[in-house]
Structure 1
Amino acid sequence: MLPALGGTQRYFRVLLLILLALTVLLLHRNLLHKAGFLQKNAIQLTPLLEDQAEGPPVTNIMFLKTHKTASSTVLNILYRFAETHNLSVALPAGPRFHLGYPGLFQAYYVEGVKQGGPSAQRRFNVMCNHLRFNLPEVQKVMPRDTFYFSILRDPAFQLESSFAYYKHHAPAFRGASSLDAFLASPWSYYANASRSAGDVYARNGMWFDLGFDPDAPADDAYVRARLADVQRRFQLVLIAEHLDESLVLLRRRLGWRLDDVVAFPLNARGARPGPGLAPAAQERARRWSALDWRLYLHFNRTLWARLRAELGPRRLQAEVELLRARRRQLAGLCLQDGAPTHSAHVREPRLLPFQSGQDDILGYNLRPGLDPEALRLCRRMVTPELQYMARLYARQFPEKPRKSIPFLEE
């Protein structure tokens, strides 16, 4: 048995332990500083928790990129995954930036695919660029085990975003002083989509992207049949208003890691003056795009039914919080001021998003002093879709002329 310590001995022993602990803390702080991170910003590149997926990840993926639905953010997720895992991407051929949109997709719009019979076709792992869905042609370039998914948004807010973004592109929008004026008398401005390509953005745009007629009557039997078509083909439909919950479910379906689905909002508009559409105008927008509204209601219900069945409220909340915490962590690591900025303040031209319409499209500045590994991760997360597509094209087809992005060359 050890002899009892006197008061003086106990005092000096406690003091020695405190000094030892302080020494270890200071050494740890110095190591973090030398690595380029102050203690308050010591953010790891590894996820907050281990998140090993069961089985191999899904690598054959077709994402139908609908317009003004947070789809650019999802596109970034897919581009990053493809680049990280050295997957092939079905990219627009030659100088194109989309796959024939607004025309129905044809396989030969993809670089590396020849016009001809099935024997001439090349298969790709990932397809996610702008196109109007045409399943037989998509199947010519995507493997049979491809996972199909898309994204939808409440048509009132989707139409509001489309009006701002395509104001000078869609004839129906050009003639209207505001979206309220357009919705007060839409047929006064709208031309049938088959006669004016730009007006595909002005009514039932998501229905159109799926390959259906945006001007078809909202007959119940017709709508139910088309919804069944989408349900059969697409294993999952995300909902923009519930993007984090959607990404939790997407991650589970694809067997991906947490960092594979963490993303910063891309192609987002800056703060807009005024309150936006009033409730009465929102209802007019939903009536005007009645096919999109039926589509949205159906797949919003479907998403939540699947979330309840597969996760339950507590598990869902925990996984959503984990996703958001990791996003905050990476924002602190990657982003100057931890947030997006106005396009005029984006310092690197390669990170400047394309500007369209009435509103400023926000971009990002990276924090200075990032180490090479962090810089590579952060740059991928904030690269706009045109620049990212051009980079993947150069990497995948080094023998081809590079994509020219005019707004970066002015």
Structure 2
Amino acid sequence: MIGFFQHHVLKATKQQKPIFKACQPSTNVMFLKTHKTASSTVLNILFRFSEKHNLTVALPNGNGFHLGYPQLFRATFVEEFKTIGQNFNVMCNHLRFNAREVRRVMPNDTFYFSILRDPVPLLESSYVYYKSSAPAFRNSKNVNEFLSSPGSYYNLSEKNWNIYAKNNMWFDLGYDNNAAYDEHYVQSVIQDIEQNFHLMLIADYFDESMILLKDTLCWHLDDVVYFKLNARNQNMAHTLNPESKEKVKEWCALDWKLYKHFNDTFWSKIQERMDLKTLYKEVGLLQQRQKELMEMCLLEETAVEGNKVKDQRLKPFQSGLAKILGYNLKQDLDNGTLKICKRMVMPELQFMAYMYSHQFPDKKKKPIDFR
């Protein structure tokens, strides 16, 4: 079956039949969780995979929810790093990438990947989500007003609070999001990223990304099936006018160049592994499995606003102007099905706290209040 057992044909002589060798699922993975790129959904996938295979996750120490973000990552941000050392299997919480320090935590054979998104819808999403926390956004009436003259709202003296307002993916990858655009500099950073990461997924092609990830890591289809998490009510979306869309590409020129480059390499990597007919056959299987699980698990056909989520433990965190959606589960599920369904819909912070309590049962994190 394509994806679960990827068969590599060894070159055979005329007297020999082709020899098929089944690959083994990769269990050492580092995912750089970028902001507003569907990365919370990927994190849920990785937490479920970690629990399924009893893997050790690099979780934030103390009462933190991020691995030191927005500081550059340091190994000491990981709970029990001094004890566990370079024996963690999975790293996927928010951090600002620092290759040297990450390699102190993750094994040498770790697979590194991240996810990028078109900077135009990314900035609009960031504006709504971080409206109350980023001064550049807070001081403008709407996203089009901000983009009409972003430099007048963006104060470099407040750059630590404005990281979501300019080249945020560039920042998450560990680079200066306020650097002047220079072609030689941009190309050197892209080469650096390509040395550090094996794969860049594209949020705008999320299902295709999941198939490529599954195929690359030799995972099963159910390992990458998902319910969309941390999504917002689209009624809160701002419509960017044509001038604003072009302004994003200029204002976030570093992110725009980054996205264009890795969007190209994304499709090249797909073509290396499969033809488009095979790709979309697998996408169809993924979407069918997702539909089956939603029919099995969910009370409503779609996600609902956070204040309508009945189980307090499954309420998503709310931020800014965004109304983050969540899910209600059916009430008559047997224990085994309920466990599967809960994992599928569990928001990021609750899943992280759950993983922490099972990995470090003698330690307690501060309770999360979602009222």
Query: By the TM > 0.5 criterion, same fold?
Result: yes
Q: Which amino acid aligns with 1:98?
A: H
Give the aligned partner of residue 189 of structure 2.
226
> Structure 1 residues 175 and 94 mapped into 2: Cα distance closer, same or farther (>3 Å)?
same
> Structure 1 residues 105 and 285 mapped into 2: Cα distance closer, same or farther (>3 Å)?
same
Distance in 2 (alpha carbons) for counterparts of 1:359 and 1:244: 24
Confirm or deny: 8 A CA contact 1:393 1:403 kept in the other structure. Answer: no
What is the TM-score with the length of structure 1 in the denominator?
0.84
| Equivalences for residues 130-279 of structure 1 within 5 A | 130-192=94-156, 195-272=158-235, 276-279=239-242
Give the aligned partner of residue 290 of structure 1.
253
For this pair of structures, how many residues does the alignment match? 355
Q: Which amino acid aligns with 2:39?
A: S
1:121 and 2:121 matched = no
> Structure 1 residues 101 and 251 mapped into 2: Cα distance closer, same or farther (>3 Å)?
same
Give the aligned partner of residue 16 of structure 2.
none
Confirm or deny: 8 A CA contact 1:166 1:356 kept in the other structure. Answer: yes
Q: After TM superposition, give the deviation of residue 334 of structure 1 in Å.
A: 0.9
What is the TM-score with the length of structure 2 in the denominator?
0.93
Q: After TM superposition, give the deviation of residue 275 of structure 1 in Å.
A: 6.5
Confirm or deny: 8 A CA contact 2:124 2:238 kept in the other structure. Answer: no
Distance in 1 (alpha carbons) for counterparts of 2:74 and 2:89: 17
Q: Percent identity?
A: 52
1:335 and 2:335 matched = no
Give the aligned partner of residue 62 of structure 1.
30
Confirm or deny: 8 A CA contact 2:314 2:345 kept in the other structure. Answer: yes
1:364 and 2:316 matched = no
Give the aligned partner of residue 68 of structure 2.
100
1:353 and 2:339 matched = no
Q: Which amino acid aligns with 1:315?
A: T
Confirm or deny: 8 A CA contact 2:214 2:224 kept in the other structure. Answer: yes
1:280 and 2:243 matched = yes
Alignment deviations for residues 10-67 of structure 1 (CA, whole Å, 9 cap, x no partner): xxxxxxxxxxxxxxxxxxxxxxxxxxxxxxxxxxxxxxx8863232210000000000
Q: Which amino acid aligns with 2:259?
A: Y
Provide structure 1 residue ranges, at least 5 long, that are not aligned to the other structure: 1-48
Confirm or deny: 8 A CA contact 2:135 2:158 kept in the other structure. Answer: no
Q: Which amino acid aligns with 2:34?
A: T
Give the aligned partner of residue 337 of structure 2.
374
Q: Which amino acid aligns with 2:206?
A: L
> Structure 1 residues 170 and 125 mapped into 2: Cα distance closer, same or farther (>3 Å)?
same
Alignment deviations for residues 321-356 of structure 1 (CA, whole Å, 9 cap, x no partner): 111111111111111122111111100011100000
Q: After TM superposition, give the deviation of residue 124 of structure 1 in Å.
A: 0.5
Matched residue SS, 2:162: helix
Distance in 2 (alpha carbons) for counterparts of 1:274 and 1:135: 35
Matched residue SS, 2:112: strand
Provide structure 2 residue ranges, at least 5 long, that are not aligned to the other structure: 6-21
Give the aligned partner of residue 275 of structure 2.
312
Confirm or deny: 8 A CA contact 2:236 2:321 kept in the other structure. Answer: no
Q: Which amino acid aligns with 2:225?
A: V
Confirm or deny: 8 A CA contact 2:236 2:322 kept in the other structure. Answer: no
After TM superposition, what 4+ stretches of structure 1 lie above 3 angstroms from structure 2? Answer: 49-52
